[in-house]
Structure 1
């Protein structure tokens, strides 16, 4: 009987973790302005230019979800004027990734024209959520 209770508890915990992870994966979250100056310097070192809205994707060569995220980001950037896509390999830029609190791939940062990170997502972002977040920052392509 004890084994059955342990099994039920483990399955319940695994189910709860799976539900939590699935709800959080790929969600765009607002970013607080803390560490803004350090983040701007790290972004500038990666090639983010002031005056442009930029989608920064941190990826790795062996990351399958990174390819899916790239397709979503390319589609979204193609639909909006003034949005640039920058893919950053974490292998080559590990120090910058750590400065920007990137701990998994893919991680997507939405950077406004002032060079501030306004949203971030760990995992493949939802296309509609990304378009909604970028709409106030960039213009729609006709």
Structure 2
């Protein structure tokens, strides 16, 4: 299967332990995870943020007053996927530790998850949709050589 074309912008905001997060997110790994989840060519910005920025974005756009692991802002789905993925570094690090995963593996999962959201996948609409999206994520991650993140 040929991978889709990707125009990627990778940004790091003001985050604690920035070197650790930059090391877990080399540009080629970010592009690889996203491209494996794409059905069409894409222009995607990935921004790694601190807890305050993550909380403000989640509060402004989802009316939820906490920082979440990944937010997806999709602007276009056809013919080119256009989206911003915002990952909150402290939340991702905390979850990776709690789940016994490497930081890089957890970031890869969330990049795949966010990329699927950017293409219209939604796990909050029904149990069936959630199960379908989860199974697809697991398959994509297996193709990247990563374990099932839900076990």
- State if a TM-score over 0.5 links the two structures: no
How high is the TM-score relative to the length of structure 1? 0.31
- Give the structure, 1 or 2, with the largest relative contact order (CA under 8 Å, sep 6 or more): 1
Which is higher, the Rg of structure 1 or of structure 2? 1
